[in-house]
Amino acid sequence: MSGEAGVENGSDWKKFLRKHWRVVASFVVAGILAFIGAIYVFLWFVKDAQSTNLVPKTLGPWTMGHVVTFILHLIFWELVIIGIPAIIGAVAGWQWWRRLPAEEKESHFFGRRSRTTGGSGGVSVLLWIAFAIKVFIDGKWNEPISTYTLDYVVGSLISILIWVAVIIGIPAAIAIVWWIRHEMNKKP
């Protein structure tokens, strides 16, 4: 039975790609160009940031202020040069998708949703933001990162993990206790 479904899904894909190969190829090429463009914008910005003294040329004297400023400026230029054209392309693709007949959009392959998610990059970003806040609170914002000792970095990370455990753990514990009480009070 699963072999028949696989053949049907394969034929749906083949039909879709045969009918719309130019549009699909255009979006693949646009994605590749956007990726390459993002790399070039990054390389351009790194050279420009050093030549305009936005950041020091060597990494030793960088401060958290330099890191945050560098990242914010980089995000701005990536959005302006690559992000806006990519958003326009995505809107064009969405408009194209909306104009497709319903039977093409609701084929066997496109109609199913996966229950899996591919995420989990957000935790490291949140920990980095927490580390930046800790450095600011400790008054080391404008000190070169090369002067941070290993004890300071490890101690900061441990305290950040404790903060996260308290911030997430207390509401989670309250929710679990509430759920258990709710379940225990249910009448069969």
Q: Where are the domains of the chain?
A: 1-111, 120-188
Number of H helices, E strands in the chain: 8, 0
| Opening angle at CA 85, ends 84 and 86, nearest 5 | 90
- Kindly tell me if the per-residue pLDDT of 151 is higher than 80: yes
Are the CB atoms for 78 and 41 separated by under 8 Å? Answer: yes
How sure is the predictor about 124, in pLDDT bands with cuts at 50, 70 and 90? Answer: confident
Return mean pLDDT, the chain. 84
User: Is the pTM of the predicted complex or chain greater than 0.95?
Assistant: no
Q: In 3D, which of 159, 154, 161, 137 has the Cα closest to residue 64? A: 137
**Across residues 114-139, what is the average pLDDT?**
81
Q: Residue 185, exposed/middle/buried by CB under 10 A (0-12, 13-18, 19+)?
A: exposed
State the pLDDT at residue 108. Answer: 47
State the pLDDT at residue 7. Answer: 46
State the pLDDT at residue 107. Answer: 60
Amino acid at the residue 15? K
pLDDT digit string (tens) for 28-78? 899 999 999 999 999 999 889 888 989 888 878 889 999 999 999 999 999
